[in-house]
Amino acid sequence: MRVVLLLGPPGAGKGTIAEALVGRTGVVHLSTGDMLREAVRQGSAVGRQAETYMKRGELVPDPVIVRMVEERLQVGAGGGTYLLDGFPRTLEQARLWEASLGRQQARVNLAFLLEAPHELLVQRLTGRRTCRRCGAIYHVTNIPPKQAGICDLCGGELYQRPDDLEETIRKRLEVYRRETEPLLRHYERQGVLVRIDSSRPLEDTVAELVRYLEPAARES
Ligand code: AP5
The answer to whether the CB of 196 falls within 8 A of the CB of 114 is yes
**Rounded percentage of the chain residues whose pLDDT exceeds 90:** 86
Q: Give 105's pLDDT tier (boundaries 50, 70, 90).
A: confident
HSE toward the beta carbon, residue 124, CA cutoff 13 A: 22
Domains in the chain with CATH codes = 2-219 (3.40.50.300)
The residues that are catalytic are 14, 89, 128, 161, 172
pLDDT attached to residue 74: 72
What is the CB < 6 Å shell around ligand 1? 8, 10-16, 32-33, 36, 53-54, 57-60, 65, 86-89, 93, 124-125, 127-128, 137-139, 142-143, 163, 172, 201-202, 205
Q: If DSSP states are collapsed to H, E and C, what string results for 148-216?
A: CCECCCCCCEEECCHHHCHHHHHHHHHHHHHHHHHHHHHHHHCCCEEEEECCCCHHHHHHHHHHHHCHH
From the CA of 220, how far away is ligand 1's center (Å)? 30
Per-residue model confidence as pLDDT tens digits over 143-187:
999 999 999 999 999 999 999 999 999 999 999 999 999 999 999
72: Cα separation from own chain's centroid = 15
CA 83/CA 109 separation, integer angstroms? 10
Beta bridge partners, 129, equal 138
Report the distance separating Cα 205 and Cα 113, nearest Å. Answer: 12
Q: What residues form DSSP beta bridges with 3?
A: 82, 108
Instruction: Supply φ then ψ for residue 155, to 5 degrees.
Output: 80, 5
CA atoms within 13 A on the CB side of 204: 7
Query: Taking a C-beta distance cutoff of 8 angstroms, is the pair 129, 160 a contact?
Result: yes
Tell me what the mean pLDDT of segment 11-21 comes to: 96
- Smallest Cα–Cα separation from 30: which of 60, 73, 92? 73
What pTM was computed for the model?
0.94
